[in-house]
Chain A
Amino acid sequence: MAASQTPTSPQSAPLVPREPFLTKRRAFSIVGLIIFLGFFAIPIYQTILLEMVGDTGQLMQQIVIGLTKGTYIAVIALGYTLVYGILELINFAHGDLFMIGAFLSLIFISLFGLDPKTSSGLTIFFSLIAILGLVMLCTAFLNAGIERFAYRPLRNAPRLAPLISAIGMSFVLQNVGIFLGDGLIWGKAADALGSDALERVSTAMGSQSVAPKNIPDLLPNGQVFFIPDSLKYTYKDLLVVVVSLGLLAGLYSFVRFTKLGKAIRATAQDRDAARLMGINADRTISVTFLIGGALGGAAGMIVGLYNGTALFTMGFTAGLLSFTAAVLGGIGNILGSALGGLLIGLILALSDQYIGARWSNAVIFAILVLILLFRPTGLLGQEGGQKA
C-alpha cells in the first residue's frame, strides 16, 4: 500500500508523489501522438470543426443527447467502481444485473397494469416511484446474494478465481433474463392462478423469450418549458438526468459523510487494518454490494423506460461501455466514474454525428487508449489508491 492517507482522514486529497512530467516513456508517446495527429487526423479535425461551427444548433442537440446518455452510463459505471474499489474485483455480472433491473421494471409495470393511454399521470407517477423502490430492493439483494455465494468463498483464492466466478454469474443472469422474458411461462402461471396481472406480463414478454421486449412509453414526452423549441429536450430526458444525478449525489454523500461510508472507504483502503480498527469487513462489503445492486437496478429501470426496450443481452453492451467509463475516469473513484460516463456519452453522440455511427466504438476505445497513455490510472484515478 503506497497510500499516504490514513483511514481517519480520507477526505483530504491524496498526496501522490509526482514524478517529473517528461519521462522517457511519455516523451515517446507524445512524439508518436504528434506524428499520428499530424499525418492522419488533422484534415479530419478540420472538417469536423467546420461542421460543428457551421451548425451550432445541431452541435448543442448532440451535446445534450450525449450528456443525457452519459448520466445513465455513469450510474452503471458506479457499480463497477464501488466493487472494484473495495474488492479489486471487476464484477462482470454488474451489467447483467442492470439488465435484470430492466426486466423487473417491465414485469412490475405490467403487474401494476400501467398503460400510457389509460392510466392517469398521477397513478403513473406514484406507481413508477414504487416500482423504482421495488426494483432497487430486488437487485440490491440479488447482488448481495451473488457476493455471498459466488465471491465471498473465493475471497482469499487467487485473483483470477473470483473474476471467472463473476463471468460465470454474468451468464447465469443472462439466462435468468431469458427465463423472465419467456411469455409462455408467464402465460402458464397466469392460467394456473387465473390472474389477469400475470396474463399482462405474459403479453408484454411475447412468445419469444430472447426477442427484444417493448416497454411502454410511460415518461412524459413534452418539450421542457424553459428550453427553446430549437433544442429538442423533453421531460423524459430531464427525468433521466435528474434521477441519475440524484443517485450519483446520494451515493457520493453516503460514502463521504456517513459512518458506514467511512467504513466502506476504510475497508477499500486496507481490509486488514480496517478489521483491526473494529470494522466488520464482511458486513461492509455486503453493504457495498447492496448499494451497487440497487444502483444497477435503478439504472436498468431508467434506461428501460428511456429507450423503451428490454433485451437479455443489453447488459453486456451497457456493461462494456460503463466499465470503459469507469476505467476512463479512474476505477475505484466515484467522481471519476461519473466523469467517465459523461465523457463516453458525449463522445458517442458527437462521433455518431460527425464521424459516423459505424466508427463510434472505435473512437471511444482510441480515446481510452490515448488517455491511459498519459494517465494510466484514469482521469481522476489515484495511483496511491490502487493496489496493484
Chain B
Amino acid sequence: MKRFLSFSLVLTMIMVILAACGTQTGGTTKTTVTIVSSLPRTGSSKGQTDTIVNAIKMRLEEAKYTACDGNVEIKYEDLDDATAAKGAWDEAKEAENANAAASNKDVMVYIGTFNSGAAKISIPILNNAGIVMISPANTYPGLTKDGKGAEGEPAVYYPKGTRNYTRVVPADDLQGAAAGNWAKELGVTNVYILDDTELYGKGIADVFAATAEKNGIKIAGRDSIDAKASDYKALMSKIAATNPDMIYFGGITQSNAGQLVKDMRAAGMTADKVKFMGPDGIFEQAFIDAAGADNAEGVYATFGGVPPAKLEGKGAEWYNAYKAKFNAEPEAYAVYGYESTNVALAAINQSCASINRETILKNVFATKDFDGVLGKWGFDASGDTTLTQMSGQQIKGGAFEFVQVLK
C-alpha cells in the first residue's frame, strides 16, 4: 500500500511536470531576439557611451521591446568592453563579450564597438558565429575598405569570407580628408602632425597628412606620442621651434589629448598663434574638462556627421525627444546608437518569417534608402554607410560650437 502510494505520487509529479512543459512550449510562440551592445562603459568614454545606451534603450522602448507585431520579444544587454584598471577598452574584455554573444543563440544583433581597435577583435569572432555587427562609432577605414588600411585588411577580419560588419558613421578616410581640406580653408600653411599610435589615431593622421600635402600645406614634422606620459613639455618645445601654425592630433581624449593642449599652451603656442585640430575622438566634453576650459578655447574638431543639435527633420525630432526624456544634451554619438538600433529593428521586422542570425544579417546589409534620423541612407556592399556629411566644430566659451558643414 505504502509502495503504491509513493509510486502514484511520483507518477502524478511526472504528469504535472510534463503538463507544465506542454503548456510552456505550446502556449508561447514568442521568439526572443537579444540585441547586445559592447561599448566602453567604464573610463572617460563613459560620458559618450551613456548617451549611446540611453538612445538604444529609447528606440527599444518606442518599439515596446517587441518586433513583428508583438510576436518577437526583444531583449537588450549592455556589455562593457572596458576595465577600470585600464580606464579604456580592453582586448580581453572585448573578446569575452564577443564570445559570450556568439555562444548565446538568442543574440542576433551586436551593436558595437565604440573603438575601432576593439572591432578588430570582435569582427572575426562574430563573423564565424554569423552575427551581424552594427557599429555606432568605428571610423577606421581598414575594417571595411580595401586598400585604405594595412596590408591584408579588411579580408583578415572575415575568416568566413562573407561580410557581417556594418557601420552607421562615415569612415576616417573621409574625415581625415575633410580635416585636411578644412585646414586649408582656415589658412594653415605649416602643420605639425601627431598621433597616439592607435589604429584610429594613426589612421586618421595618415589620411590628414596625405590630404594636407596635396593641398600644398607644409608638414613641419610628424611624431607619435606615448599616451601614458605625464607631460609633453619637451615635445611641445620641439614643435614650437618648427614654427607651425597648426598642430593636428590623430587621437582621442583618452590618449592624453588634454595634456597635449595644456603643454602646447604652456610652450607659448597660444590659440591665436597656433591652432589645434583633432578628429571626433576629442569632440566631447571630457576633452574640455581634461584640458581646462582656458587651454581648450579655440580648439577645432571634425566629426563624421552633424552634431545632435544641428540635425534636421526626423533627427531634430529625435534630438528634442531625447532632451525631454533624459533632461540632458546627447553626446555626438548618441544619434548613431539610436540609428543602429533603428536599422536592427527594421531588419528584424523584415525577417519575421524566419527569425535567425542569417536572415537578420542579410536584411541589415539590404538596407537601402532607409528613412532614419540621419536622413535617407543605406549600406553599401562592404557595410559602409552611404552618408558622407561631415562637420567642423570649434570650442568657444568652454563648449563645442558647430562651425560649418565640411565636404
The interface of chain A, by Cβ under 8 A from chain B, is 55, 58, 61-62, 65-66, 69, 171, 174-175, 178, 206-208, 210-214, 216-217, 221, 232, 303, 306-309, 312-314, 316-318, 348-350, 352-353, 356-358, 360-361
Contacts and interface: CB of A to CB of B under 8 A. Distances in A.
Interface in B261-311: 262-263, 266-268, 286, 289-292, 294
Given A65-B233, A307-B262, A357 B223 contact: yes
Contact of B223 (A171, A312, A358): A358
B237 A232 contact: yes
A312 B290 CA distance: 13
B226 A309 contact: no
Contact of B289 (A214, A314, A317): A214
Nearest to A350: B234
Closest 6 CB pairs of A and B: A349-B234, A211-B44, A358-B224, A352-B234, A214-B292, A212-B290
Contact of B259 (A66, A206, A309): A309
24 contacts: A61-B241, A62-B234, A208-B47, A210-B87, A211-B47, A211-B286, A211-B290, A212-B44, A212-B258, A212-B290, A214-B289, A217-B292, A232-B267, A308-B259, A308-B292, A309-B259, A312-B87, A318-B230, A348-B234, A353-B237, A356-B224, A357-B223, A358-B226, A360-B229
A358 B258 contact: no
Contact of A307 (B46, B224, B259): B259
A357 B259 contact: no
Contacts of B234: 62, 65-66, 69, 348-350, 352-353, 357
Given A208-B286, A212-B290, A58 B237 contact: yes
B258 A174 contact: no
B336 interface: no
A216 B295 CA distance: 11
A313 B43 CA distance: 11
B225 A357 contact: yes
Contacts of A307: 230-231, 259, 262-263
Contacts of B263: 307
B239 to A, nearest CB: 10
B5 interface: no
B85 A171 contact: yes
A33 to B, nearest CB: 26
B235 interface: yes
B151 to A, nearest CB: 21
A208 B51 CA distance: 14
B42 A65 contact: no
Interface string B326-340: 000000000000000
Nearest to B227: A317
Nearest to A360: B226
B2 interface: no
Given A58-B241, A352-B234, A353-B234, A309 B223 contact: no
A183 to B, nearest CB: 10
B238 A62 contact: yes
A353 B258 CA distance: 21
Contacts of A357: 223-226, 229, 232, 234-235
Contacts of B292: 214, 216-217, 308
Contacts, number: 114
B84 A178 contact: yes
Contact of B237 (A62, A216, A306): A62
A113 B88 CA distance: 32
B42 A210 contact: yes
A269 to B, nearest CB: 34
Nearest to B196: A358
Given A208-B44, A210-B42, A69 B289 contact: no
Contacts of A350: 234
B203 to A, nearest CB: 16
A69 B231 contact: yes
A308 B294 CA distance: 12
B197 interface: yes
A232 B224 contact: no
A222 to B, nearest CB: 13
Given A309-B258, A358-B224, A208 B238 contact: no
A385 to B, nearest CB: 30
A348 B256 CA distance: 18
A174, A307, A312, A350: residue with the most chain B Cβ atoms closer than 10 Å? A307
Contact of A211 (B228, B230, B262, B289): B289
B233 A69 contact: yes
- The residue in A208, A349, A356, A360 that gathers the most chain B C-beta atoms within 10 A of its C-beta is A208
B205 to A, nearest CB: 12
A61 B233 CA distance: 10
B286 to A, nearest CB: 5
A214 B228 contact: no
B123 to A, nearest CB: 27
A358 B205 CA distance: 15
A61 B237 CA distance: 8
A279 to B, nearest CB: 38
Contacts of A317: 228-230
Contacts of B253: 211
Nearest to B233: A65
A31 to B, nearest CB: 33
Given A317-B229, A352-B235, A358-B226, 4 more contacts: A307-B263, A317-B230, A348-B234, A361-B226
A217 B233 CA distance: 15
Interface string B243-264: 0000000000100101100110
Among A232, A313, A357, the most chain B Cβ lie within 10 Å of the Cβ of A357
A150 to B, nearest CB: 19
Interface string B80-94: 000011010000000
A348 B258 CA distance: 20
Given A208-B44, A352-B235, A214 B291 contact: yes
A174 B42 contact: no
A303 B230 contact: yes
Contacts of A217: 292, 294
Nearest to B223: A357
Nearest to A211: B44
Contacts of B44: 208, 210-212
B221 to A, nearest CB: 9
A339 B289 CA distance: 36
B288 to A, nearest CB: 9
A52 to B, nearest CB: 13
